[in-house]
Amino acid sequence: SVAAESGSPFTYVHYAAAKAGVEALTVGLSKELAKDGIRVNAVSPGTLWTEFHEDPQRPAQIAETIPMGRAGKPKEVAGAVAWLLSSEAAYTTGSVLKVSGGL
């Protein structure tokens, strides 16, 4: 989640800290496992229309803070995951791919 970079003050600080840990794990493991031909990457989504939010309208409420002016859809993140799993990303490891509408 892009919360790893923003810190999510006053809302999801604990969540942001966990996501920062996932990013560090991604980079560290990618370096340890590259010699074995194992790629390790992560996707860092921005605000999405999912059931994650305590307030189901939160994505609409914060849309104006997103450079693209809207929350994303889960299938938009799925496309990034599919690319990372594809042979087109064969030389990609240790990457954290932001799919965040510009956040």
When divided into structural domains, the chain yields a total of 1
Cα distance between residue 32 and residue 9, in whole Å: 33
Answer yes or no: pTM beyond 0.75. yes
The one-letter amino acid code at 3 reads A
Catalytic-role residue among 5, 6, 15, 98? 15
Cα distance between residue 44 and residue 100, in whole Å: 7
Q: Is 15 a catalytic residue?
A: yes
Domain range spanning residue 20? 3-99
Per-residue pLDDT of the chain (103 residues; tens, 9 = 90+): 999 999 999 988 999 999 999 999 999 999 999 999 999 999 999 999 987 766 778 888 989 999 999 999 999 999 999 999 999 999 999 999 999 999 9
Whichever domain contains 76, its CATH number is 3.40.50.720
